[in-house]
Amino acid sequence: MTLAAATDLAVATNEHLASISNTLIYSSMAVYTLAFFAYIAEWLFGSRSKVARTAAALTTDGARKAGAPAVTVKQAGGTAVLERPKVVVRSVSGARDVPDGPGAHGGDEQGDLYGRIAISLTVLAFLVELVGVVTRAASVERAPWGNMYEFNITFSTVAVGVYLGLLALRKNVRWLGLFLITTVLLDLGLAVTVLYTASDQLVPALHSYWLYIHVSTAIFCGAVFYVGAVATILYLFKDSYENKLQTGGKPGSFATSVLERLPASASLDKFAYRVNAAVFPLWTFTIIAGAIWAGDAWGRYWNWDPKETWSFITWVAYACYLHARATAGWKGRKAAYLAMIAFGCWLFNYYGVNIFVSGKHSYAGV
């Protein structure tokens, strides 16, 4: 076989692999959509659950007193005893004891069944998308992080992987499923419509083993920050809901149906803090690794390039959040607002800087 024929064969093979990758990404979107509807069904069936309504009743002053008895719920063919949920105490001034909600399924058997189906579909979609990302890498014979399209499909894969990993560790995070999959579908939709870029080789500056170190850690950090941001948003809603109940207000029926099944605001706050705190050292390493790579590629460790600047701003924002959580006067909502500002900085660092700002990191295009 001549060199030209071998080259043509390699090009055709890579194009075929790229086509397979695109098909797999679209297939994963279809399965994620099925998972989305299964999560919706879980929430809908959970909304009619007696367990959810009873959990809400346990937030009253009388039921929160120590030694509150178990609650009996009449069912067809007998009586079931609902144990009082474990109380989580928020360690701030004016703390209140609020039990975690029963979850999206609300204790309803059909709701729980749909929740399990949703998890199974999420696992299937994750595996299909993962194979799509790997196939994309094979089509370009490099790590699939050379442009925003590749970054997006990898980012969404890792975000779902983090969620499934927490479930595998038996963490109570199934309530994240609907909110996570909704935004993953939006992310993939943006990737395949606006950000899609045909397979191509990297510019010389990116031909380095630091691509695997720096970019992979950046993607993982972003995925974990994203999970923390979702929990923070839910915390803000749940905290407002609990405040309204505590002051004698009456939330709307829809808000009550949804929010009463989530973990207590203290649990959501603690979860968001822990995931952000756990990944912050790795984000620090990501910035250091990028500086070392910049020194190898451009001869200077730090150029105040827009990407470098906003990475540092993001680092400072998360550092302020973590410091605020350790300061008595800045726990709760104030710290949560800082967390959202920090994640907003991360989002702008990726989308805003890449699309609207020119710099040394503009080599990959969209």
Q: Is the pLDDT of residue 160 over 90?
A: yes
Q: What is the mean pLDDT of residues 218-234?
A: 94
SS (H, E, C) the chain: CCHHHHHHHHHHHHHHHHHHHHHHHHHHHHHHHHHHHHHHHHHHHHCCCHHHHHHHHCCCHHHHCCCCCCEEEEECCEEEEECCCCEEECCCCCCCEEECCCCCCCCCHHHHHHHHHHHHHHHHHHHHHHHHHHHHHHHHCCCCCCCHHHHHHHHHHHHHHHHHHHHHCCCCCHHHHHHHHHHHHHHHHHHHHCCCCCCCCCCHHHCCCHHHHHHHHHHHHHHHHHHHHHHHHHHHHHHHHHHHHHCCCCCCHHHHHHHCCCCCHHHHHHHHHHHHHHHHHHHHHHHHHHHHHHHHHHCCCCCCCHHHHHHHHHHHHHHHHHHHHCCHHHCCHHHHHHHHHHHHHHHHHHHHHHHHCCCCCHHHCC
Look at residue 5 in the predicted model and tell me its pLDDT. 55
Contacts of 114 (CB under 8 A, 6+ apart): 38, 39, 41, 42, 45, 105
Residue 162 has pLDDT above 90, yes or no: yes
Q: How confident is the model at residue 212, as a pLDDT?
A: 86
| pLDDT tens, residue by residue, 54-75 | 554 555 444 443 344 444 444 4
Sign of CA dihedral 354, 359, 364, 365: positive
Q: What is the mean pLDDT of the chain?
A: 82
Split at pLDDT 50, 70, 90, the class of 231 is very high
- pLDDT (0 to 100) of residue 366: 56
Cβ atoms 205, 305 nearer than 8 A: no
pTM, rounded to two decimals: 0.82
Instruction: Name the least confident of 6-15, 29-38, 118-127.
Output: 6-15
The predicted pLDDT at position 1 comes to 58
**Range name among 45-59, 170-184, 217-231 with the lowest pLDDT average:** 45-59
pLDDT tens-digit map of 293-302: 888 877 778 8
Residue 72's DSSP bridge partners are 81
Joined tokens for residue 100: 């975690």
pLDDT of residue 9: 57
| Model pLDDT, residue 199 | 72
Lowest mean pLDDT among 17-21, 77-81, 134-138, 222-226: 77-81
**How large a percentage of the chain has pLDDT more than 90?**
46
- Distance, in Å, from the CA atom of 86 to the CA atom of 106, rounded to the nearest integer, reads 15
pLDDT at 136 over 80: yes
**What pLDDT is recorded for position 54?**
52
Question: Which residue shows structure tokens 């069912």?
Answer: 75
Encode pLDDT of 243-294 as tens digits. Answer: 988 888 888 888 888 888 999 999 999 999 999 999 999 999 999 998 898 8
The confidence score (pLDDT) of residue 53 equals 52
Which range is most confident: 39-48, 145-154, 184-193?
A: 184-193
pLDDT in tens, 97-120: 788 888 888 888 899 999 999 999
Helix axes 177-193, 148-168, angle to 10 degrees: 160
Q: Please determine, for residue 143, whether its predicted confidence score (pLDDT) is greater than 90.
A: no
Mean pLDDT of 178-204: 86
Say how far apart CA 257 and CA 178 lie, in whole Å: 15
pLDDT of residue 6: 54
Residue bearing tokens 């309504």: 53
Residue found under tokens 């952000």 = 276
What would the two tokens of residue 34 be?
A: 């099925």
Q: What is the pLDDT of residue 90?
A: 42
pLDDT tier for residue 344 given thresholds of 50, 70 and 90: very high
Q: pLDDT-based confidence at 204, cuts 50/70/90?
A: low
Beta carbons of 186 and 179 less than 8 angstroms apart: no
Identity of the amino acid at 110: Q
